[in-house]
Structure 1
Amino acid sequence: MDGGGDDRERDGDEVRGVPRIPSPRFAADDLHPDAYRPKRPPLPKRKPQPERDTPPAHGTPPEAESVPEAESAPEAAEAADDSRVVDPGPVDPEPVEPVPLGPVALDPVPVEGASVAPPHSVLKSLLGAWALSACSAEETAAVEDHLGDCAPCAEEALRLRDAVGLLHTDRDLDLDPLLRFRVLENCLGRRPARIPVPDWADPYDAETARLDALLRDIGDSEWHAPVRLKWFEGERQVSRRTTVAGVIGHLMTVDGLVATALGLNDPLGSHAPLLPTERTESFWSTADLPPTGSIREPWRDQSHTLVRTVSFAGRGVAELSVSYGSFALPLQDALLDRAFECWIHADDIAGAVDYPYAPPSGAHLNRMIDLAARLLPAALAERRRAGLAGPPQHLVTAGAPGRSLHLEVEGSGGGSWHIALDSPAAVGSPARSVAQVALDGVEFCKLVAGHVSPEEAAAGQDGDREAIRDVLFAAAALSRL
């Protein structure tokens, strides 16, 4: 073989004639596992370099190092160009973070001029100040925006706002005097008492309870506050000065008349006088020391005993006679009279200690006015016997309608009554009415108690002037110590 021959043998690989040309690049790429990797731009071809005595690059076929010049130019040039392209080999792709499937929470981008909401801990610490309306406008807006999104903070804010409502000091802390009565009425309405209090004893039970509530609220020094008791004797008003404790002693001694009628112990003993004025004077004079707050407990025990006794006694006890010395009343009227005096003197005490006190309920006030209206013919006859009223003008037989005065009481507990003018035995009649008087309910009771003069009491008058004057003074004559 000549020296220009290309025939060689290496590792069993035999090449004859034409030099070995690598396979097309695209064919290799199609079979490579990274075939679908993004294509990179081809590397620029390097200029031919002079031959060096260096070993061939790794991966370069040895046949490409000696290409005979006898080969055709196009094929040799193509072979030379391909042999100089360096295959970078497989390249690892750059790591790519996986894309989440759900919504991506992006950090808010601060905008110039926009305010950033405070964190939850700061807004929660402002709830107390917000409930007290002590936050600034910006803090209030931030807290209220937060309450719309945070249920726990919203519940806490409601609790704090309710608590702030209890801190107001502009409320009247005095208990309503009728509170006990309303509570008992509600309780008894749901569960009636096994032994109920008779209806005719309700006013006395209610008024003693109201007075007891007043006495519980006053201080020790106020038991010695001065109280002036007023009543009418003849044509003039008289008064007597005592203390709050002295008024309670007066009520207890007169209530003793009802206790004696029921067979209970008299607080003044078995030899006590019968007239209410004498009983009161006896108590005030025999007391070793001026009465103090210690008088409240025996008075309240006695009133409880009276109510309990009439409740267990049954219906027949209502007509039991109670003697007042100069006159007598059925037990049901006597307890109503004691309820009236308890209210009047409780109002005297309330004025002395500057305590708010309301009149009785409308139903109880109506019963008190009715009792006074029923007693007026007898009081008028008593004044006539004393020469303090005009003579009768037209006598009739007992039970027949006679000359009358129309008494119209307005307001709570009011009503209409016809008062017989000539005889207690006559019956008041609208057809025989000769005069009319209109008064407010509380004002009429003040007149009956001797706290208002007859000249100042009547709000409206019409008809016989003498009949009107006689009835108004007879109403004032019902008062006593």
Structure 2
Amino acid sequence: MSGMGGRDGAGEEPRGVPPRISIPPQRPPAEDTPHWADRTAAPPPGPGPSGPPGSTPHENTAHATMPNDPEAVAPPAAPTHKVLKSLLGAWALAACSGEETAAVEEHLTDCASCADEAVRLRDAVALLHPQDNLDLDPKLRSRVLTACLGRRPARIPVPGWAAPYDAETARLDALLRDIGEAEWRAPVRLKWFDGQRAVGRDSTVAAVIGHLTAVDSLLSAAFGLPDPLGPGAPAAPTDRTEAFWAMDRARPAGRAPGAVRSAWRDQAHALIRSVSFTGDEEPGPAVSYGAFELPLRDSFVERAFECWVHAGDIAEAVDYPYAPPAAGHLHHMIGLAVRLLPDAIAGRRRAGLAPPPRALVAAGSPGRTLHLEVEGSGGGHWYVPLDSPGALASPEGEVAHVALDGVEFCRLAAGHVPPQEAAAGQKGDREAIRDALFATASLSRL
């Protein structure tokens, strides 16, 4: 009885009858070869070197893989100029394999036309997809923080005259959160102008924050907040700073240097909360700085200015990007410095550091005027009386005109730029201009 497929019952082909379907020989392993290589090159069917007649090359693999036979494996054919030219686009996009890239670049050293085409393709790729740095912009955080502080409305808003202090303490706090424990001991050079020359003092990041804590607490009395220096502490900023540093040195040696940040931050938050509940009205008396007093509004602006200046000192010491204040806040700081200029000029004259006024002008009377033009962010035009603090300044009495950049003017007022080196455009009475620049630098202190 025959079965299906014309086989015997045992499933074997009848003797002498060839199979109906021939099984193809096994394929060799895939090769990682460039696409220009001839993958189909093989000896034609026929008698092999050691195989029987009619055998295929695949049946004689032992001879084909002999390592000592130089004719066993033929090297791939070298790519032609046409093939290499077609690869230029992929090469420009860095999409070639290693072998293709090496072949193209070797070809470019010999073929001027392909080299010119490669340059044009690379330039086109650079325009379509420029190589961007994957690292984040170091100023990204400060820009985001500035945008958040400027746009997010507070449930209990801070008065406009206290907003610069709120913003600058928040920016400095963000800087302090980013630095490591070791960076709290980084050396910081504090600089100011003592009326005659530039002076400085070596400090650390932790000591600078202690200095801000000691002087900021002068505002605490207006809100009944405790003074970190205790009752009977001095009012002069330098004396308060020295007292705070002495207290800090007396603390246990194991105290973490960054612990001073908590005291400064908590005090700043308490001041901002207290002033927010007062509304736009100015509470309390003027703030005493020992040798002079400032209204509470001006004190908050002055503390914002010093916070920004010393934050810049810290940022420079730890290599941290730090931008100037917002334009509106910078305008408040410049305006305060300009209002203090007449008294600073008069003080230099009393100390014999400047020549006396050319004429005695009564309060409210017109006198000689300095036109101060501050350019850039937060700038504007101000008119400063030169003869006496109470004299009337007006464009009609202008005898000198000075122009400075806004940040440069603030650096001058902070004592970070010597007055004789200030990049100022000058016109008019040179003596009046010199007195004004030196008086601006004299506003600085430790």
2:158–2:279 CA contact under 8 A, matched in 1: no
| Counterpart pick for 1:394 among 351, 356, 359 | 359
Q: TM-score if structure 2 supplies the norm length?
A: 0.68
Structure 1 stretches (4+) deviating beyond 2 angstroms? 133-137, 167-176, 178-181, 184-187, 288-291, 314-320, 394-397
For 1:303 and 1:205, the matched residues in 2 are separated by 8
Deviations 1:307-366 (A, max 9, x none): 110111233325731110111111110000000000000000000000111101111111
Query: Aligned pair in 2 of structure 1 residues 455, 199: CA closer, same or farther (>3 Å)?
Result: same
Instruction: Give the structure, 1 or 2, with the largest relative contact order (CA under 8 Å, sep 6 or more).
Output: 2
Q: Could you say which residue in structure 2 is the equivalent of 1:254?
A: 215
Displacement of 1:439 after TM fit? Answer: 0.9
2:331–2:379 CA contact under 8 A, matched in 1: yes
Aligned residues with identical type, % of pairs: 62
Matches within 5 A, 1:362-373: 362-373=327-338
Matches within 5 A, 1:222-301: 222-287=183-248, 288=250, 289=253, 292-301=257-266
* 1:420 equivalenced with 2:381 (yes/no): no
1:362–1:412 CA contact under 8 A, matched in 2: yes
Q: TM-score if structure 1 supplies the norm length?
A: 0.63
* 1:435 equivalenced with 2:396 (yes/no): no
Q: Could you say which residue in structure 2 is the equivalent of 1:359?
A: 324
1:319–1:332 CA contact under 8 A, matched in 2: no
Q: Could you say which residue in structure 2 is the equivalent of 1:467?
A: 432
Q: Could you say which residue in structure 2 is the equivalent of 1:203?
A: 164
For 1:300 and 1:171, the matched residues in 2 are separated by 28
For 1:408 and 1:400, the matched residues in 2 are separated by 23
Displacement of 1:467 after TM fit? Answer: 0.6
For 1:365 and 1:422, the matched residues in 2 are separated by 27
1:318–1:332 CA contact under 8 A, matched in 2: no
Query: Aligned pair in 2 of structure 1 residues 337, 285: CA closer, same or farther (>3 Å)?
Result: same
Matches within 5 A, 1:399-414: 399-414=364-379
- For these two proteins, the number of residue pairs brought into alignment is 319
Matches within 5 A, 1:101-180: 169-172=134-137, 175-180=140-145
For 2:267 and 2:361, the matched residues in 1 are separated by 45
* 1:303 equivalenced with 2:303 (yes/no): no
SS in structure 2 opposite 1:402? Answer: coil
For 1:458 and 1:387, the matched residues in 2 are separated by 26
For 2:353 and 2:361, the matched residues in 1 are separated by 22
For 1:325 and 1:354, the matched residues in 2 are separated by 35
* 1:378 equivalenced with 2:343 (yes/no): yes
For 1:433 and 1:173, the matched residues in 2 are separated by 44
2:222–2:284 CA contact under 8 A, matched in 1: no
Structure 1 gap segments, 5+ residues each = 1-112, 114-129, 138-164
Q: Could you say which residue in structure 1 is the equivalent of 2:315?
A: 350
Deviations 1:198-218 (A, max 9, x none): 011110000000001111111
Query: Aligned pair in 2 of structure 1 residues 454, 323: CA closer, same or farther (>3 Å)?
Result: same
Quick one: which amino acid aligns to residue 187 of structure 1?
A: R
Query: Aligned pair in 2 of structure 1 residues 280, 291: CA closer, same or farther (>3 Å)?
Result: farther
Query: Aligned pair in 2 of structure 1 residues 378, 291: CA closer, same or farther (>3 Å)?
Result: farther
Deviations 1:91-139 (A, max 9, x none): xxxxxxxxxxxxxxxxxxxxxx9xxxxxxxxxxxxxxxx9xx88659xx
SS in structure 1 opposite 2:398? Answer: strand
Quick one: which amino acid aligns to residue 213 of structure 1?
A: A
* 1:218 equivalenced with 2:179 (yes/no): yes
Deviations 1:238-297 (A, max 9, x none): 111100010000000000101123211111111211000000011112222487111111
For 1:184 and 1:453, the matched residues in 2 are separated by 33
Query: Aligned pair in 2 of structure 1 residues 476, 185: CA closer, same or farther (>3 Å)?
Result: closer
Displacement of 1:178 after TM fit? Answer: 4.1
For 2:143 and 2:246, the matched residues in 1 are separated by 35
Displacement of 1:397 after TM fit? Answer: 2.5
Quick one: which amino acid aligns to residue 480 of structure 1?
A: R
2:184–2:258 CA contact under 8 A, matched in 1: yes
* 1:336 equivalenced with 2:297 (yes/no): no
